[in-house]
Structure 1
């Protein structure tokens, strides 16, 4: 089992897994754009957006559940107190995070969304300061946070509005909300992981969170039967589900062996991957100098925060 191979001194394995997880998390940005165009889902149709994303995580949860059955994971050995934490994690990590994320990513450019999503790093570091005695803020962390926020602000400068910050609630606002609930989810997962294997609680939180998200979509008027699936969209849906199941399972496994502020530095890989892939595969999306500068600032902030 992966849990037996992981320990705090196995830095190389933890590093490789962290890099892999964040590369995988960077790929959905262009993939979602391709799927929505292929299925004819428009950003203003929030109900269909939410319904589709719930199917993605329901499928991801089912993939983990099947994997757990095949590997003999203790899927049903859960205490009542752990059930409450798993449900809470499902609400934060899947229902709320991807409610905000899925709407936000469709109401801003892929490159801006890929960078704004990483505000969860800074929320995580700030929250860790108040929760963990060995993960306090320091001068270098403050400097890193300022650099990172500078990058997030810079990417919002829109020349078409004469240099003013372009900000919309459904776009940039929802991306920030997604980052905040993601930070809370990371703290909850670290607590649950002390007693449960990551495969077990990742599987159940995805199933619970996706079902709640599906109900939200239905309440907004979504209808899964009205979604126009094509062979391309079905294939990409399975890819997204596989990415989510693998990345979250591995991430929560290594989360138990590193400080939150140390592990969070690897998330700078997400905007790099998302920006490059979006610029390469999405028509109308281009990499501009301001985006490279923003990526450098965000990356520098993360590295300074965690540099020994």
Structure 2
């Protein structure tokens, strides 16, 4: 199985697929908030909704693994300690900052600030791994990808201000996500990627629910058939994306894999234009796609002298 996840074309395909799945979460969540009649300033309801989503996603993976290969579910006490810490950081803490911060910034600011997680991951990988150093290609890739995110949102209002519970929380969400990526590669030795995903989602989501449910107001969320369907889809996309992402992360360089997360905000903008009437596809989005493509090519381009590293 590890040979499959080391093939370049497989890694690229999975990374792009995961990024598109994560991008689809933007329109899904926007429509869900409206369908469930959640107040725009009700951050507790959003935390509970996220906790429910990630708990269902985690349980899907754990139950599936129970039927397919139950031995993979068994972890040592030391591994469970890691999974608990990982769940707190990667799911609980990251999405606490994300949902609270997003309530206090514009959509454009949120997309740009959260995407800084890619910068954090590449920089952290430079210091943690001798074979994942920063170079000019990664620099070009980062610059082009980040420029693509800005261009994708160029037509929206961007107010240059800083509020700790707004911009500060979004940066902390990006940083905790980057730390989680390094933790998954560095410390998850001997744990199956699906087990990592299932346990950390379940543990982190449980903490979110423990925090949010006691503070949840009555009728904060009103489920409809469409709302329930969107909720299930959001859980499925999380389960699939995280499980596949950790699978390729286990056998590949963290810095290069994380580059593909630039596709998430761009795909999110395109899917929003398709499914949300108020948002339209324009030249800014098309230009952003071109910049993201340049970033991906720059990261993966191999010189003539490195033929053995070309696509498998």
TM over 0.5: yes
Which residue in the other structure is 1:87 paired with? 84
Name the stretch that deviates more: 275-284 or 178-187.
275-284
Cα distance in 2 for partners of 1:20, 1:152 equals 18
Alignment of 1:205-216 (within 5 A): 205-216=200-211
CA distance in 1, matches of 2:111, 2:285: 11
Secondary structure, in 3 states, of the residue corresponding to 1:73? helix
Aligned partner of 1:15 in structure 2 is: 12
Distance 1:26 1:159 in 2: 18
Q: Which ranges in structure 2 are unaligned for 5 or more consecutive residues?
A: 303-312
Give the equivalent residue in structure 1 for 2:58.
Answer: 61
2:213 match: 218
Task: Rate the CA distance shift 1:306–1:45 in 2: closer, same or farther, 3 A.
Answer: same
Q: What does 1:5-154 align with in structure 2 at a 5 Å threshold?
A: 6-8=4-6, 10-108=7-105, 110=107, 113-150=110-147
Structure 1 stretch displaced more, 164-173 or 174-183? 164-173
For 1:271, the equivalent position in structure 2 comes to 265
Q: Distance in 2 between matches of 1:110 and 1:167?
A: 15
Q: Which deviates more, 54-63 or 280-289?
A: 280-289
C-alpha contact 1:51 1:224 (8 A) present in aligned 2:
no
Measured after TM superposition, the shift of residue 91 of structure 1 is: 1.2
Deviation at 1:150, TM superposition (A): 4.6
Give the Cα separation in 2 of the matches to 1:16 and 1:146: 22
Name which of structure 1's ranges 25-34 and 209-218 shifts more when overlaid on structure 2: 209-218
Distance 1:146 1:18, change over 3 A: closer
Give the whole-Å Cα distance in 2 for the aligned partners of 1:151 and 1:13.
24
- Provide the secondary structure at the position in 1 that maps to 2:71: coil
Query: 199, 221, 230: which one pairs with 1:236?
Result: 230
- C-alpha spacing 1:119/1:297, structure 2 compared with 1 (3 Å): farther
In structure 2, what is the Cα distance between the partners aligned to 1:159 and 1:306? 31
Deviation at 1:226, TM superposition (A): 4.5
Contact 1:114 1:275 in 2 (8 A): no
Instruction: Give, in angstroms, the shift of residue 19 of structure 1.
Output: 2.0
**Residues 264 and 302 of structure 1 are in contact (CA less than 8 Å); yes or no, is this contact kept in structure 2?**
no
CA distance in 2, matches of 1:224, 1:266: 40
Match of 2:174 in 1: 179
Residue-by-residue CA offset, 1:202-246 (whole Å, 9 max, x unaligned): 111111100111122236x22587521111111111101010011
Question: Where does residue 305 of structure 2 map in the other structure?
Answer: none
Alpha-carbon distance between aligned partners in 1 of 2:218 and 2:78, rounded to the nearest angstrom: 34
Question: Tell me, which stretches of 5 or more residues in structure 1 are unaligned?
Answer: none
